[in-house]
Structure 1
Amino acid sequence: MYSKEETQRLKREFWIAFAEKYPRKWMLYDTKIKDAAFKFYADNKKAQVIMEIEPRSDHKRFQYFEKMESLKNILREEHIKDLVFERHFILENGKKVSRIWVEKTGLSMNNRQHWDAVFEFFNDHMDAFERFFYEYSDYIMDIDLNE
């Protein structure tokens, strides 16, 4: 078991190593949709690439989620086949979001021997997610924001 300081140091080294191996600017929060972002996540059991939709208005959140869901077959067939779509996802802090993600279990950011596999998973899946998003962004963002 790691101390809190050791865990923080290891996490910092993990993210620095990822940035060095794949030195590119990821879209992440630059989706042009307020409160929608792509995220990387890793812990001691899994790695995930996530799109989180979290506008304060449930109505707006559901509109964006439904747009993504309407493209589910294209997204799965052409980009990432194992995506999970969850309209109602509750974060640890109790916040309700909609989430679309893919994960790979059996990987640990605490195990340096897993880092290359995590980095490759992150790169491959985030790149595919971003390419899809760029291709369909006009359609996804075309919702009635006045509702």
Structure 2
Amino acid sequence: MYKREEITRTKKQFWTTFGQYMKPVPSAEGGRVNWQNYKTGVKHIFFRMRAERNFVSIGIEINHPDTELQELVFEQLREFKKMLHAILGEDWEWKLHDQDEFGKITSMVEKKLKGPSVMNKDDWPQIISFLKPRIIALDEFWGNIKPAFEEL
């Protein structure tokens, strides 16, 4: 079993490594971007990447505190589902009003890969290979649809 400090240290090392690996990659618009802490520029909409002990995931999270508005944003995002899946080249899971590990109600569109562990440095290439093309695709997707969400 891993100690909390070791988990925190290893995750920090991973995200630093990921950030260094992604640093030379420009955004779809050609600018610099902090890939591991991607800013959508729209309140309550986030791109989340997670690397845990038994899975890795990436997704779009909507965490508006008003669940009715959260659902409205989720449904608006669903209007772009075909475009998202075409850019990604795969289908993702759509979850309306799911509960996160802290008990907060969020809605997610995500892709998860079970198995690799952030605690195993031998798995890092697999984790990076999973995250890299998907965060780049999300950036391209977001560049196309962001104006539809800026007024919310």
Same fold (TM over 0.5): yes
Q: CA separation in 1, counterparts of 2:6 and 2:65? A: 36
| 1:99 matched residue in structure 2 | 108
Alpha-carbon deviation of 1:35? 1.3
Q: SS at 2:50's partner residue?
A: strand
- Offset at residue 29 of structure 1 (A): 5.4
% identical equivalent positions: 24
The normalised TM-score by structure 1 is: 0.87
Contact between 1:85 and 1:99, CA under 8 Å: does it hold in 2? yes
Structure 2 runs not aligned, ≥5 long: 24-32
Q: Deviations over 1:48-103 (max 9, x none)?
A: 11211011111211111001111112211232413111012101211101111111
- Number of equivalent positions: 143
- TM-score, normalised on structure 2? 0.85
Q: Over aligned residue pairs, what C-alpha RMSD do you find?
A: 1.8
Q: Where does 1:1-147 land on structure 2 (aligned, <5 Å)?
A: 1-23=1-23, 24-26=33-35, 28=37, 30-142=39-151, 145=152
Segments of structure 1 that go 5 or more residues without pairing to the other structure are none
- Over 3 Å counting, the alpha-carbon distance change for 1:101 and 1:137 in structure 2 is same
Runs of 4+ residues deviating >6 angstroms: none
3-state SS in 1 of match to 2:64:
coil
Q: Distance in 2 between matches of 1:48 and 1:80?
A: 16
- What's the secondary structure of 2:107's corresponding residue? strand
- Show CA shifts across 1:28-54 (max 9, x none): 552222111111101111111121101
